Amino acid sequence: MRRTAGIRLSLSALLIVGALTGTGAVAAERSSAEQPVAEPALVNALERDLGLSEEQAVERLAQEADAIAVEPDAKRAAAEAFGGSWFDAEAGTLVVGVTDREYAEPVLATGAEVELVDHTQAALDATLVAIDELAGPEGAPEGVSSWHVDPLANSVVVNVVSGAESDAEVAAFLADAQAEGPVEVRSVAGAPQTLAAGTVGGDPYYTGNVRCSIGFSVHGGFVTAGHCGGGGAAVYGWDRSLIGHFQGSSFPGNDYAYVSVGNGWWTEPVVLGWGTVSDALVRGSNEAPVGASICRSGSTTGWHCGTLLAKNETVNYSSGEVVYQLTKTSVCAEGGDSGGSYISGDQAQGVTSGGWGNCSSGGETWYQPLNEILSAYGLTLHTA
């Protein structure tokens, strides 16, 4: 069920150095020509949360920007042999899995590295869908927290809350899941929960007695988490003046919403740094790869950073709701952070859905990818 002996290919391994002279510099040339200087806010946050030096943080942000730019071309080059992709922080490059050695050369030509794997992304996605169907609308047993395709493991990972493995319903679900395809079971420390909160002070938005956080400005409003409010609900700002109303909301299944902005309020292409770091400008919404650094802003815990751990994960919230196609991170969050912004470099990534743990002891969180929200409601991101 694991990758094929972990074989990573290089230009020299394929004896094509001469034929591809200069192609390995594609990403570097693109970065130096197009990428802005690293924002001090992001550099400071990566130093604090990932334990990097200033030089390492600047270098990593540049490498991740390259990986984001290279990924679409690399995926197309891998064609039907595509076995997933991820950012290798140690090597500082995008890695693409392929199931057929013949596709290695065109992928390498894009500037990515290549690793031979056993299963295509399509096969792993099919296994994920089969597990979704096993869970059904009622969700999986309570001890099963989530499941996702892990490109590094080249398998579908099913996460089980520590201590729940011996539960009969959990064991039966895992057995059925493993019969569907390449599945790996992992233990996690906590069960995921949504992160809305009751009314408290701070810089939030309110709907009813729920406090959540603004995600990203779009033309005409902002996006946030769907579990924070239903369609038509009034939304009030930090000063309790009316901002607008939920124009659309989807939860469970999805976890996104769109709020109109008016009544003297306006939108800005900014993510708040909460005094910990400078506010960050939003310049686009290109997706970061697995393994990239990512930061989150929320009205309870402010600004925190971590690593993008998995994409397209199905989350079985402890309150009974199932949400599909979320992205998992190592960033902490707490109640009231729901709906807040995830950003990688200057690229908007998504809005906070839920998590487990807290910002004292640590934990994991999930976000609803932004581009799906923009597409669902026909919105345009407000960019700097």
DSSP letter for each residue of 151-193: TTTTEEEEEEETT-TT-HHHHHHHHHHHTTSSEEEEEESS--E
Range of weakest confidence among 38-42, 74-78, 136-140, 317-321: 38-42
Token pair listed for 299: 């009205």
Catalytic positions:
227, 255, 338
Q: Chain-wide mean pLDDT for the chain?
A: 89
What is the tens place of the pLDDT at every residue in 161-200? 999 988 999 999 999 999 999 999 999 998 999 887 643 3
* Structural element, H or E, at residue 115: strand 113-116
**Residues 6 or more apart whose Cβ sits within 8 Å of residue 76:** none
What is the tens place of the pLDDT at every residue in 14-72? 533 333 323 344 444 444 444 455 778 788 889 989 999 999 999 999 999 999 999 99
d(CA 53, CA 87): 19
Q: Which residues of 29-59 are buried (b: 16+ CB within 10 A; e: fewer)?
A: eebeeebeebbebbbbbbbebbebeeebbbe
Closest CA to 6 of 93, 79, 91, 95: 95
Closest CA to 173 of 161, 158, 162: 158
d(CA 156, CA 355): 20
Would you place residue 203 in the very low, low, confident or very high pLDDT band (cuts 50, 70, 90)? low
Residue 37 pLDDT:
57
d(CA 71, CA 329): 19
What is the tens place of the pLDDT at every residue in 111-140? 999 999 999 999 999 999 999 999 998 889
Residue 11 pLDDT:
54
Mean pLDDT score, 247-274: 93
Mean pLDDT score, 211-225: 95
CA atoms lying within 13 Å on the CB side of residue 382: 17
d(CA 150, CA 157): 6
Asked if 229 contacts 208 with a C-beta cutoff of 8 angstroms, the reply is: yes
Residue 145 pLDDT:
96
Phi and psi dihedrals of 107, rounded to 5? -70, -45
Identify residue 40 by its one-letter amino acid code: P
Mean pLDDT score, 82-93: 97
Would you place residue 8 in the very low, low, confident or very high pLDDT band (cuts 50, 70, 90)? confident
Residue showing tokens 């400078």: 278
Residue 1 pLDDT:
31
Closest CA to 184 of 162, 158, 160: 158
DSSP 227: G
Closest CA to 194 of 33, 373, 354: 354
Residue 197 pLDDT:
61
Determine if the pTM surpasses 0.85.
no
* Structural element, H or E, at residue 368: strand 362-369
DSSP for 263-309? TT----SEE--BTTBPPEEP-B-PPPPTT-EEEEEETTTEEEEEEEE
Residue 238 pLDDT:
86
Residue 261 pLDDT:
92
Residue 2 pLDDT:
33
What is the tens place of the pLDDT at every residue in 305-314? 999 999 999 9
pLDDT above 70 as % of the chain = 89
Q: Is a pLDDT exceeding 70 seen at residue 294? A: yes
pLDDT above 90 as % of the chain = 76
Residue 138 pLDDT:
84
Mean pLDDT score, 208-235: 95
Token pair listed for 4: 């094929």
